[in-house]
Amino acid sequence: MSRFPDIVFLVLDTQRADRLSCYGHPAETSPYLDSLAADATFFRHAIAPAQWTIPSHASMFTGVYPSQHHTHQSDSLLPHSLPTLAERLHASGYFTVGFCNNPLVGVVNNGLRRGFYSFLNYSGLLTSRPNQIGIGARSGWLDRYRQLFKRLLGALLNRVQDAFARSDLLLALSFTPVMVPIWQTALSFKGNTARSLHDAAQLLIERRGVAHDQPIFSFINLMGTHMPYHPPRRFVQRFAPHVLHDQSARHYLRRFNSDIYGWLAPLNSEIDDQRKATLDGMYNAEVAHQDEQLGAFLAKLRASGVLDRSIIIVCADHGDHLGEKQLMGHGFSLYNELVHVPLLIRDPTGDFPRATVVDRFVSTRRLFHTVLTIAGLATADEQALTLAHSPSSDPEGGTVFAEALPPQNAVRMIQRRQPHLVRERACDQVRRAVCSDQHKLIQTGERLELYRVVDDPNETLNLHSMLPERVDALHERLRSFVRYTDDTRPPETRASGYDDPDVQRRLRDLGYLE
C-alpha cells in the first residue's frame, strides 16, 4: 500500500441505524454491510450533528457543528472561511471525486461541492457529468449525437420547468395526485444507485485519468432509502408481503408515495398498525435492495484488490421517522430515528482495528478530522479529534451534541396548511441535544427530555422528573455549547443559483419546497 491510501467515503442518505441487522434489527436487511462491519471498527452509538441533509453533510465536510458553519437551510451557503474536506485533500494531491444522488448536495450551489476535481450528479432525468476524467467517457459520432440530444432535451425541460415555477396554476397542477408520480418517475430524483456505484468502482479499479501513485478520495451519496418507496418486487415479497395482496395497503402506499407534504408534516394522531407495517416493510425492502447493490460494489473492490488498499467509511447523514412519535420524515426532531446513524470504518493500515466495537458516543462531524489524519494532513488540534482514539484518550470523552434548526420552507408549508401543528409540535422551535455516558437530553424551547438511550433506544421513558441532577448537569453542558457556538459561528450567506427553476423543481420533488 502507498503511504496515503485511497479513501471511500460512503454516505447512506436517510439510513436509520436500527434498520440494519448489524445494529440489531431482527430481519436480515443488510447482510453485505453486516459482513463489512464484522471486518471493521464498528461504532455502536454514532450521532449525526443534524437531523437532515444539508447541515449534516456540512458538518462532516468541515468538522464543526451546524451552529458554527451556519448552513441550515436549502438556500444556505457554506462559508468560504471554512475549508472543506475535499478542498484540503485536493490541495495536497488527492484526486477528489463525488458520485452523488442527492440534489441538495450535487445540484444546489451551496458549497458542498467545493474541492472536488470531478463531481457527478445522478439525480434527475439527465445525469450531470461536469467532468468525465477517470470515469470512462465515450467518444465518437454516436456519443456526440447523444450529447446533442441531451442538450436539446435539457433545454426543452428547462423551459417547461421554468413555466411551472413561474405559474401558480401550473405549480398547483404539478402537486396533484396525478402529476406527482409522473414528475418523480421522469426526474428520478432518488438518483441511480447502480450507475453511481458502477462508476465509482470503475474509477477506483481502472484509475483512468489519475496520476501514478496519486491517492483517490471518493465521496459517494446514495438515496435508496429516501421516500418514495419503489423497491423491486422480490424485496417487497420478503419484507412487506401484505402489500402485494392487500388492496387497502397498496392504496395507502400509492397515496403516501405521491404525498410530498405528508413526508414532512407531523401527524395529527398515532399511525395505525397496518399503515405502520406498510411503511416499515417498504423502508426495510429499500434498505435490503440498497445493501445488495453495495454488496456488488464491495465484491468488485475485493476481487480487484482495491478493498485491501483503501479506507472504507460507511455512515449516514440522518435517519427517518416512519410514524414514531407522530412524526414523519426528517425535519423536526432529534430522536434516535433521525440522529442515531450507522458508522463503520474498515482500515487495512491498522489504525482502526478490525472486528472492534466502539461503545461510546461519537459525532460523525469528526469524520473530517479522521480523514485528514488518515491522509497525513491533520494539524495537531485536528489529529486530536480523529475517531481512532481509544476511550481513555478521546478529548470529547464520549460527549456529543446534535442540533435541529427547522427547515424554514417546511415550516412555512405547514403553517399555511395546518398552523395548529406548528404550535402543538413546536415545528418552528430550535432543538438541541447532548449525549453523554448513558443518557441523552433534548431541549426544545423550555421543554427538556431525558432518556437513557443505551437501554431505551426508542426513547419511550422520559426521565426528566426522575433524575433532576442528571438533567441539570447535561443542561449546563448544552448552555456551554450554545455559548461557544454563538461566539464562533460565521455570518449566514445564501447559495447562488438557488432560485434556478431546475434547482427549485428538484427541491420540490424531494419535499423541501411546496
pLDDT of 73 over the 90 cut? no
Assigned domain for 410 exists: no
CA angle 249, 252, 255 (to 5 degrees): 150
Assigned domain for 508 exists: no
Q: DSSP secondary structure string, 95-132?
A: EEEEEE--HHHHTSBSSTTTT-SEEEE--SSS-B-S--
Least confident stretch, 80-94, 255-269, 460-474: 255-269
**Helix intervals (H) in 259-347:** 273-304, 336-339
What is the amino acid identity at position 231? P
Secondary structure (3-state) at 9:
strand
Distance CA 121, CA 220 (A): 10
Least confident stretch, 81-95, 158-172, 330-344, 456-470: 158-172
Query: Average of pLDDT values for 153-164?
Result: 48
Domain boundaries, position 95: 6-387
The pLDDT, as a whole number, for residue 75 is 83
Write out pLDDT tens, residues 85-125. Answer: 999 999 999 999 999 999 888 777 899 999 999 999 887 65
Pairing of strands 340-341, 41-47: antiparallel
pLDDT of 490 over the 80 cut? no
Indicate the average pLDDT of the chain: 87
Q: Is 426 exposed, middle or buried (CB count within 10 Å of its CB: 0-12, 13-18, 19+)? A: middle
pLDDT of 160 over the 60 cut? no
Distance CA 248, CA 260 (A): 20
Residue with grid cell 452523488, as numbered in its chain: 100
Query: Average of pLDDT values for 319-345?
Result: 97
Q: Which residues contact 221 (CB under 8 A, 6 or more apart)?
A: 11, 13, 98, 99, 100, 101, 102, 105, 106
Q: DSSP secondary structure string, 179-239?
A: HHHHHHHHHTTT--HHHHHHHHHHHHHH-TTPPTT--EEEEEEE-TTSSS----HHHHHHH
* pLDDT band of 272, cuts 50, 70, 90: very high
Pairing of strands 310-315, 447-451: unpaired
Assigned domain for 394 exists: no
The pLDDT, as a whole number, for residue 350 is 85
Q: Which helix (H) or strand (E) holds 434?
A: strand 431-436
Q: Is 273 exposed, middle or buried (CB count within 10 Å of its CB: 0-12, 13-18, 19+)? A: exposed
481 torsion bin: left (phi>0), alpha (psi -120 to 50), beta (else): alpha
* pLDDT band of 392, cuts 50, 70, 90: confident
Query: Average of pLDDT values for 315-334?
Result: 97
Query: Average of pLDDT values for 434-443?
Result: 97
Assigned domain for 133 exists: yes
**Domains: count for the chain:** 1
Assigned domain for 333 exists: yes
Write out pLDDT tens, residues 258-267. Answer: 898 999 899 9
Assigned domain for 493 exists: no
Q: Which residues contact 325 (CB under 8 A, 6 or more apart)?
A: 333, 335, 337
Least confident stretch, 126-140, 424-438, 459-473: 126-140
Cell of 86: 475535499
pLDDT of 511 over the 60 cut? no
pLDDT of 503 over the 70 cut? no
Note the pTM of the prediction, 2 decimals: 0.86
Query: Average of pLDDT values for 169-177?
Result: 51
Cell of 126: 439527465
Which CATH number is 56's domain given? 3.40.720.10
Assigned domain for 56 exists: yes
Write out pLDDT tens, residues 126-142. Answer: 555 543 334 444 445 66
Q: Which residues contact 288 (CB under 8 A, 6 or more apart)?
A: 28, 29, 30, 231, 235, 238, 239
Other beta carbons less than 10 A from residue 26's beta carbon: 6
**Percent of the chain's residues with pLDDT above 70:** 81
Assigned domain for 283 exists: yes
